[in-house]
Amino acid sequence: MPDTAYVTYEESWHAGTRTGGRELSADEARARDAQGLPYAVVYRAPGREVPLGVRMVAWRAGTVDAWAYDEFGRRSAEAELRMRDDEGRLLVRRLLVRRFPDARTAESDPDCPRTAVELSADGTARISHQPGGMRGDSLEAEVAVAEADLWAVRPGFDDWAGLPVADALPEWVGALPGAEAAGWRREPSRLRGPADFDRVFRAGTEIPGLHVLDPMPCGSVRVPSGVLAVACPDTGEGLSRITVDVPPGTYPLEAAWVHVAEKHWGSYEDVAAVRLRIGDDPVAAWEMALGPGDDTLRLREGEAFGFGTDAATGAFGDAEAWPELCDLLGRARRQGSWEHDRLSDSLVGMNLDGGSLGADLALFCTGGDGVYPVWVGRSASGEVVRVAVQTAYELDLEA
């Protein structure tokens, strides 16, 4: 840390936007520390606009979170410390270091190389090296951790040493055997989707329990901003939405229409998935779309990110026009409203003509409440050519 570095105090801190709450004096921060109330310690250097690092302390919650920032304001390192039963010490719960290849790479870039360490109170650590970022395979291992590396003594207000988190991982991580040594394994990217999601739209395909029929057209969606949102328009705050960058344009919506044969319910026809066709090129790879703050390192086996719904509904729409489209949808749903004729039924739900907004909303039914992953199909050149959501059934697309 530079000799000229100094600290300021804030009532709170948002790590992504680098914004704090009310500025505190040192005495106010000290009082909050004694009371267990949250406060942030911001490390700054003269002439530098962004902080060197930040420590967010909340003793009542038993948490200490810390971030180091590079000169471009990107979080180059993060640490999570947690109090357990013993209030005199902190478990070093998680460490993350990003290695930005250049000044243009954003911290949320799925191609940014990084290493994460997740530690448990039982003395083990899971290490994930992602040299290709979230899109690439990871090299992983579970190792034993010495007690001294697992726990930190809870410091007093004036006893914190240096920056809250270093840009380098601890020596015990760097001293581990190379990735080719015994105990390391290669794990496929958790972003990676089904080998061929388009199968469920390809007439004649047999998927266990399903026979795929011709895909059904369900209208189109205008996306003038070039940012497509996928979310539930009827769900309140607290559940995420997904955005995908696409070329501005109008895109057809299709439903995967399938014949289902079930032992107890008999045979019937239904919708298994929906997709927007962004381009005509074949899909070379499918990947899971991410929302703000989504990190595949936090996913366990069988888990996925997606948009949340408590109304068994999803929708495709323009991200910039989303609030206006949702307002228009609410008015159009009222019987007798002069905007009611903007709504039309489709096989999968409803379509809303956004009129002068220059954007539309295409609603589709899901199989129930919950979180639904959004799958992005990319061409061999990396362009987005499909955006799809599985709406029902367990599809074994590898069979």
* Residue whose entry in the numeric block shows the structure tokens 């369900």: 218
Residue 1: predicted pLDDT: 60
pTM recorded for the entire structure = 0.82
**299: amino acid identity, one letter:** L
Q: Which residues neighbour 193 within 8 Å (Cβ) at sequence distance 6 or greater?
A: 285, 286, 287, 288, 373, 375, 376
Residue 166: predicted pLDDT: 66
**205: amino acid identity, one letter:** T
Residue 5: predicted pLDDT: 83
Residue 183: predicted pLDDT: 74
d(CA 373, CA 361): 19
Residue 300: predicted pLDDT: 79
Weakly modelled stretches of the chain, pLDDT under 50: 238
Residue 214: predicted pLDDT: 96
Residue 332: predicted pLDDT: 94
Residue 238: predicted pLDDT: 45
For residue 28 the two structure tokens come to 């106010």
CA end-to-end distance (rounded Å), the chain: 55
Residue 187: predicted pLDDT: 86
